[in-house]
Each structure stands twice: as C-alpha cells, then as structure tokens.
Amino acid sequence: MERTELLMGTIVHLRVITVKEDEQKANLTIRRAFQAIRQVEQACSRFDRQSELNAVCQTVGIPVPVSEYLFAPLQFAMSVSALTKGRFDPTLGRVLEELGFHEHYLTRETIGHRKNAQIVAANVNFRDVVLDETNRTVTLQKPLTLDLGAVAKGFAIDLAASFLQEFPDYIVDAGGDLYAAGFNQDGEPWHVAIRDPHRKDGVLRTVRIHDEAMCTSGNYERISNTITGAHHLIDPQTQSSASELISSTVIAPFAMMADAFSTAAFVMGAKEGLQCLEENGLDGYLIDRNDQVYETETMRGYL
C-alpha cells in the first residue's frame, strides 16, 4: 500500500509493506500520516503568511504560544545550535531573504519581513530566541526571521513514521530525505540512493538501511535566482552560502536528527563536519567541490 502527495515543497511518498487483509487499515493510517505532515507544514512554513512561524517572527519581546508542531522542531534546532556552537542556526531567515530566497521555489509566492515596520536586526543568532517548555511559548528578543528548513521536513517524516509504526515494514520518503523501518518487499534492508550532485536523476551510491533515517543537504537543491552561485545552505559565520562541500548525507536514528546534522556538516566542511558526526555517533558521506569523498569510519557498512 502506497500513496504520494506534494507537500513541504517536495514529493512525499509513503509505502507500507502489508498483506491484503490489512490494506484498508494501512490506507487509513497513511491518510492520517499525510494529515500530520500537512499540520507541520502549516505550522513551520516560512512561505505561508498564516503559519505559526510567521506569527512568531512578527512579534518581538512577547511570549507567543505555539503548537507542538512548531515547538518541537524549533526546540531541537536550538539544541543543535548549542551543540555546534552556532554553526547551525535557525535565525538565518533574513540572510536567506537577502540572498533571494524570499519566494516559494515551487509556487513562487513571495514572502518576507523586510517591509515590516520593525527593521530586522542585522546581528542575531539562536541565543536571541527564548523557549519556555512549560508554557510552550517562543519569545524573540530581537526582530529576526526564523527558518526551520533544516529540521521541519525531518520532523514531519518522523511524525508520519509514528503513525505507521503499527506496521513493521514501511518507508516515509520526502524528496530523498527518509525514514525506513523494517525491510522491503523482498525481506531485505531498504535500498536508498545518494543522489549524484552533478546529475538531477543520477545515483552516486546506494545504501541499505532499516530502522534508520537518511537525509542529504546539497548546494544544488535551492539556487538563488538573484545572486550568482548563492544557495540556501548558509554559514552563520560568513552570512553567505557555504562553499567547501557540494553534498552532505547523514544517517541517524531519526529523520529530524539526520536533517539537521546534514546541514550542520555541510556548513562546517569536511574535516569539522566529519568530526561533529562521529562525536555524535552519526554516519556521514560528504563530497567536496573537487568531488573528493569523506565518510565516517562505519559508513562503509551501509554501502
């Protein structure tokens, strides 16, 4: 049983390996999983004017109550920011807007906070965001624009997987970022592809995973229409597109972690990125602009 929808700016595919007697149950569960993904998108999208994220970005100095669909990924993003000493930072929305990422890359709807009455502060970072877990509120200490592009899709994948976990074998695939549980229809680990960064439909490597997530960040995914060479993976230290790597693939226990750390490793570069992954018990496959491959010691076990 499988189903595909266009959500979160990409093609989302859910597949459950099941017997015919359970197909109706699987179909209902898949529909519920897709509804959960839609709720995450409605909460976390920077391109939806009615999203919770945009409501937070328009309010400074006042705690804003939010749903778990926004609080959970933002809280995780903040923890990764602290862990990486700011090399991963969800407060880079303003920089993304200035680089030309102020319109949805599929719908072309334009959105931004640059025309708001409050001028967005130039020097902001994750420490300017205060979370209150007890009351589930978010407080911005300065005018800034949040962007959860490096965690929201992973969170949506994990949430969808939580609905499907009553079935032992399934996969949630959102544009190549995925969580694979159990085994495929042949009783083998799921075979998933690492995209060739130079060819849109090319496959660089195939890896075998089960009960794990895999996410890839690449400089080919979102390209600026206004600034030559600019892409969406921003180094907070330089406030510009990271340039050492062209692709970063991470395997982790859950998709939000793989999503965030693939971005963090991309920004850090090969040496620092690999060190970060290994220190956190994650596997990674990094490619630099000279097509040199860097991988964690245990990554070969997946190939």
3-56, pLDDT tens digit by residue? 999 999 899 999 999 999 999 999 999 999 999 999 999 999 999 989 999 999
Tell me the pTM: 0.94
The whole-number pLDDT of residue 201 equals 85
Length of the chain: 303
Mean pLDDT of 203-215: 97
Residue 110's pLDDT band, with cuts at 50, 70 and 90, is confident
Q: What whole-number percentage of the chain has pLDDT above 90?
A: 82
The whole-number pLDDT of residue 101 equals 77
In sequence order, what E strands does 74-211 have?
129-132, 137-140, 170-174, 177-181, 190-195, 203-209
Q: Which amino acid is at 96?
A: L
For 266, list phi and psi in degrees, rounded to 5.
-60, -45
> How far is residue 115 from each of residues 41, 274, 298, measured CA to CA in Å?
24, 40, 48
Identify whether the C-beta of residue 109 lies closer than 8 Å to the C-beta of residue 103.
yes
For 28, list phi and psi in degrees, rounded to 5.
-65, -40
The whole-number pLDDT of residue 122 equals 61
Q: Which amino acid is at 208?
A: R
Domain spans, the chain = 2-35+151-302, 56-140
Residue 121's pLDDT band, with cuts at 50, 70 and 90, is very low
The whole-number pLDDT of residue 270 equals 98
* Choice among 2-16, 138-152, 208-222 with the minimum mean pLDDT: 208-222
* Choice among 83-87, 232-236, 274-278 with the minimum mean pLDDT: 232-236
pLDDT of 104 strictly over 80: no
The whole-number pLDDT of residue 105 equals 57
The whole-number pLDDT of residue 131 equals 99
For 194, list phi and psi in degrees, rounded to 5.
-95, 120
Task: Please state whether 220 falls in left (phi above 0), alpha (psi between -120 and 50) or beta.
Answer: alpha
Quickly name the fold that domain 56-140 has.
Answer: T-fold (1.10.3980)
Mean pLDDT of 198-209: 92
Mean pLDDT of 228-239: 85
More confident residue, 116 or 73: 73
Nearest C-alpha neighbor of 158 from the set 176, 133, 178, 136: 178
Q: What whole-number percentage of the chain has pLDDT above 70?
A: 92
The whole-number pLDDT of residue 108 equals 65
More confident residue, 209 or 219: 209
What strands, in cross-sheet order, belong to the sheet with 129-132? 64-65, 137-140, 129-132
Identify whether the C-beta of residue 174 lies closer than 8 Å to the C-beta of residue 10.
yes
Mean pLDDT of 218-227: 76
The whole-number pLDDT of residue 232 equals 86
> How far is residue 261 from each of residues 36, 80, 100, 269, measured CA to CA in Å?
23, 8, 24, 12
pLDDT of 114 strictly over 60: no
The whole-number pLDDT of residue 116 equals 46
pLDDT of 265 strictly over 60: yes
The whole-number pLDDT of residue 106 equals 62
The whole-number pLDDT of residue 225 equals 67
Mean pLDDT of 217-239: 81
The whole-number pLDDT of residue 90 equals 98
CATH 3.10.520.10 fits 2-35+151-302, yes or no: yes
